[in-house]
Each structure stands twice: as C-alpha cells, then as structure tokens.
Amino acid sequence: MGKSEKTTLGRSLVKHHNHMIQESKDKGKYYKNLQKKVLESVTEVSDIDAIIEQAEEAERLFTINHSNTTPLPINLDTSSSSSTIAAEEWREQQKIEEALHASSLQVPRRPPWTPEMSVEELDANEKQAFLNWRRMLVRLEENEKLVLTPFEKNLDIWRQLWRVLERSDLIVMVVDARDPLFYRCPDLEAYAREIDEHKKVMLLVNKADLLPPYVREKWAEYFRLNNILFVFWSAMAATAVLEGKVLKEQWRQPENFEKTEDPEVVICGRDELLSRLQFEAQEIVRARNSRAASSSVESQRENAVVGFVGYPNVGKSSTINALVGQKRTGVTSTPGKTKHFQTLIISDELMLCDCPGLVFPSFSSSRYEMITCGVLPIDRMTEHREAIQVVADKVPRHVIESVYNISLPKPKTYERQSRPPFAAEVLRAYCASRGYVASSGLPDETKAARQILKDYLGGKLPHFAMPPGMLSEEKVEDASADSEEGEDEGSDADEEEGEQVPGIDDVLDDLSSFDLANGLASSKKVAVKKKETASHKQHKKPQRKKDRNWRVKNTEEGDGMPLVRVFQKPANTGPLTMR
C-alpha cells in the first residue's frame, strides 16, 4: 500500500513538472509570435547584427509596402588620401563636413497617424520610418571625414520619446551644468515645434551647485544671447533640503548658493522651480485654448503637462522625485534605469511626465568621452586608459594631486612642462597610494579607473566647460602669465629649443625608469652588481708564476729572443742485426 502511494505521488510530481514546462514553452511561443521584447537601451550594435536586423525589417516590410529603396553605396576604393593630410588640416575639414551635414543629424520623426488607423498599419509605418532614419545615418557614417558617436538603436525607446513629446506642453531638457552643450539636442527642440508651434523647450541646468557663480553668469549670458529658456537647479541639494539633511560633499561649496544680483543666475529651490514650470506650461495651454476657441475647436484641456527628456544619468528621475516630494521613480548612477515613460500628478493643474534617457546621435565626441560624461555605463568600459586620459585632459594636474593626495611624475626636461599627465601615470600613482594590486601582482588599473570615473561624475574632481568664445578666469590668468614669460624670455628662445631636444642619455634614463616601474629590469644586471659588491670576492687570487726559463735573459750573450730548440734525427744505418 505504501509503495503504491509513493508511485502515485511520484507520477503526480512528474506530471506537474511536465505541465509547467509545456506551459512555459507555450508562453515563450506566444510572446515570440507577438515579437515582444524586454525594453532595453541599445547603443552598441555590431556590423553583422545591423545587417541581420536590416534584412529582417526589409523582408517583413516588403510584403506591406513595395517601395523601391535604393541600395546602400559601397566604397571599394581602399586607397584613402586621409593618411597624407596633416592632423590639423584633417580636423578643419572634419569641422567643415560636420557643419554641412548638421541638418542631416536628426532624431527620428514619428510618421503621421490618425485614430482610424489599425495597430498593424501604425506599427509598420513606424518601423519603416525608423529604418529609413537608420539608413540615413549609415550614409553619414560612410563619409570618412565624419565620426558618428553611439546612439540609441532601439525603436521602442524612441516610441517613449514620441509619446512624451505629444503629451507635453512644456518640454524640459535636463542637462549637466558642467557641459550643457554636450547634453543639449537642438534638433529635439525643432521637432517639438513641428508637432505643435505652441510647445516650448526649457533647459534645466542640473548640478549647478558644482559651478562657481562667475561660470553661471557666463552661461546665463550665453543662453540669453541665443534665446534659450533656462533655469539653474540642483536635484541633490533640493532632495537634501526636503529630507532635512546636510550635504557632506566638500566639493559642493556653500558659496555657490549665495544670491547674486541677477535672479536668473541663482540656483532655484523646489517651490521656485514648481511655480516656474506651472507658469510656463499654463501660458502654453492658454495660448492653445485661445487659438482653438477662435477656430471653433471643442477639444480643450485646462491641466498642463510638463515632460522631462534628456540623456541618461543627467538627473531626470531625481528631479521628479524632488518635485513630487517622495521617491516615485527609480534612481541609480547606472544609465538607463527608467524603462517606460511615467506620469505623476502634482495638482489638478500640473502633471509631470518622465521619459527614459536617450543617447542622441552626434558628431566629434568619442565613445570614451561619453563614458566620462555618464552617458554610457562605466561597467561596460573595456579600454580604461583612454577614458582616464579624457579625465586627465580636463582636470588640472595640481587638482588631481590635491584631491587624491598623490604626487604625479613631472614632465621630462625635453617635454612641454604644461602637458596634462598621462593616464598610466595617474593610474599607477592612484594604485600605489591606495594599495590596489591585481592577482597578477601588477597595479589594478581597472579598479582604479572605475573609482576615478565615479569621482569625476560625482563632482569630487572639479571640472567645467565654458561657453564658446569665453575663457575661465584661471585660463585667462595662465594665458597672460605665459605671454609675459614669452616676452621676457624671447631672446633665449633658441637656447631653450636646443635644450628641449632629447639626447641619448635622456632616452636611456626614460627606458631604464620605465623598466623599473614595470618590473622589466634584467636580472643579469642585478647579479653583476651583487658580484661586484660581494665581500668575499674583494681579494685577488694568487697567480702561479709562469716558467720562463726557456727565454734567454737580456744579457751580453743573449738578445732576449726565444730559443729555437732543434732536435736532430739520427741517421738510418739499415736493418738491425741480431747477434
């Protein structure tokens, strides 16, 4: 009886297990047929993936629209003339090409649609428009003088942006105050006006507490000259005030919050920003309603919608959490936390809309610069030295030394004394001070690079960009000092040039120091040194006197020349006879 019960229980468990497996397979087939994928940002696509994706889209859309698409041109000319052009001329030509193709660098537009359209027709039109946009960017990448940075390649992410732009009255583009023009997308502003002429775009300059007051004044002047609507803001400071905490970061200086004569330069608080957003959005709603009333259109609404868009990791979700007063959206330092757009009701007259972060296509900025700006995740970094070199170029040498309490190697006598430190120098000095050693026994540069990049993004390493055509006070002082030194030492220019030429001794010293720093010093040299300095090897061995008796002494009888000993062979007297 017990044996039959065990058999029945085992069979029921096996049946339940098989049923669950079959159910999971059915669900997988169902979602696969619906082509439902997890919404994830895609910025890096290999060539083979892009070819397969384009082939699948073309095959699927061919049955819907028999459009004659021209094939992509393929350049078979392998002889490039770019190698013969100087670097400066090449950069000038690249700037000219970027200016000529700036209008082609657009965000994808949503195709026209009506409520009467079916879901399948709308989906096919959007995929076709997105495919054409990808092909246009591929043609730009074929130009050898243009460098296109990684951008968002997932259609579902762009669909979130389309919904937010259509819903919102006021579009708030959140940018990092340390380099606002890098995070600003002018074509997005043009696209918003194409959707509705009443829409406005406001630049929310986040992390403004990391800028000195005179830098904010320069940026305010630049925004006014270019008719850009802007507000200085700090989401972290507003959250700390809301929670009753004090910012522990020493690099967020209190004098940055001091009020100035210009009210637009002051960093706004939570209540001030909410009132400003509501005022700007309600003006747009009134203008739209007045025009709709004049044209006898009944569709009018009173509440205003404010949409937040921008690059990943610029503080969109943190700003919304600070405005709402509680954590309503996920926040993390890793880009791409927000997956879908979210709507949050502040009051009966104001509603906020959060959009996932998008990487817009742009020119001239490298992938490593995008990592240092927080657009691409730090954990996906493969070449850490290139990213650290970007940091070393932007942060002065003395700032790195004072922040980390390290001493970087000084430039050689034949090098430019004002050159930025190399990435290897920064990483080795940081690893030596922190004791970062990998399992191989070498400095753990990967761990050090990630920590330095996090400090760079968090503001521990102070840096900021000035508006075009304007220099910071430190750079102006350095330039004036350099000009004065150049005037005083103009007569000794030839001698300095002669001194700056590296000699063979300098090169050998550099090679020996490099070998010692990397553990490449020869063990033979060390052995020779030990042999020379050994105490038991200091005395000389007693040498045997050579026998020189065969040499005639330099006397009256002899001239000191060696003797020739002649051995005379006896004569052959014939065979021996036995007696």
Listed range (172-181, 209-218, 309-318, 490-499) with the worst mean pLDDT: 490-499
Q: pLDDT band for position 36 (50/70/90)?
A: very low
Q: pLDDT band for position 472 (50/70/90)?
A: low
| Higher pLDDT pick, 175 / 341 | 175
Distance CA 151, CA 244 (A): 39
CA distances from 341 to 36, 193, 257 (A): 18, 21, 32
259 is written with which tokens?
A: 């009020």
Q: Are 108 and 159 in contact (CB under 8 A)?
A: no
Average pLDDT for 390-403: 92
Average pLDDT for 340-348: 80
% of the chain at pLDDT higher than 90: 22
CA distances from 493 to 480, 489, 499 (A): 18, 7, 10
Q: pLDDT band for position 82 (50/70/90)?
A: very low
Give the per-residue pLDDT at 389.
92
Q: Are 188 and 358 in contact (CB under 8 A)?
A: no
Taking the chain, what is the end-to-end CA distance rounded to the nearest angstrom? 129
Residue 426 reports pLDDT greater than 60: yes
Instruction: Give the residue carrying structure tokens 């006898």.
Output: 296
| 495 phi/psi in degrees, rounded to 5 | -65, -40
196 is written with which tokens?
A: 């509705």
Give the per-residue pLDDT at 402.
92
421 is written with which tokens?
A: 């430190």
Distance CA 41, CA 356 (A): 9
Q: 270-294 and 235-243 are packed helices; what angle lies between their axes, rounded to 10 degrees? A: 120
Give the per-residue pLDDT at 317.
84
Residue 375 reports pLDDT greater than 60: yes
Q: pLDDT band for position 525 (50/70/90)?
A: very low
Q: How many CB atoms lie within 10 A of CB 386?
A: 17
Q: Dihedral through CA 11, CA 16, CA 17, CA 19, nearest 10?
A: 120
Q: Are 385 and 424 in contact (CB under 8 A)?
A: yes
Give the per-residue pLDDT at 507.
63
Give the per-residue pLDDT at 75.
44
Average pLDDT for 189-202: 90
| Higher pLDDT pick, 493 / 536 | 536
Listed range (6-15, 374-383, 555-564) with the worst mean pLDDT: 555-564
Closest CA to 458 of 171, 299, 249, 302: 249
Left (φ > 0), alpha (ψ -120 to 50) or beta: where does 267 sit?
Answer: beta
| 351 phi/psi in degrees, rounded to 5 | -135, 135
Q: Are 400 and 408 in contact (CB under 8 A)?
A: yes
Average pLDDT for 58-62: 58
Average pLDDT for 567-577: 60
Distance CA 384, CA 395 (A): 17
Residue 85 reports pLDDT greater than 80: no
Residue 187 reports pLDDT greater than 50: yes
- 92-131 residue pLDDT tens: 777 788 788 777 788 899 999 888 888 889 899 999 999 9
Residue 475 reports pLDDT greater than 60: no
Give the per-residue pLDDT at 523.
45
Give the per-residue pLDDT at 307.
92
Distance CA 214, CA 234 (A): 17
Of 171-185, 291-305, 561-575, the range with the highest mean pLDDT is 171-185
Of 54-58, 371-375, 452-456, 542-546, the range with the highest mean pLDDT is 452-456
Beta bridge partners of residue 343, listed in sequence order: 353
Give the per-residue pLDDT at 329.
59
Q: Where are the alpha helices (DSSP H) in 45-86?
A: 47-62
- 356-370 residue pLDDT tens: 888 888 876 677 888
Q: pLDDT band for position 499 (50/70/90)?
A: very low
Distance CA 499, CA 414 (A): 7
Contacts with 94 (C-beta within 8 Å, 6 or more apart), sequence order: 145, 146, 147, 364
User: Got the DSSP string for 446-495?
Assistant: HHHHHHHHHHHHHTSS----PPTT---HHHHHHHHHHHHHHHHTSTTHHH
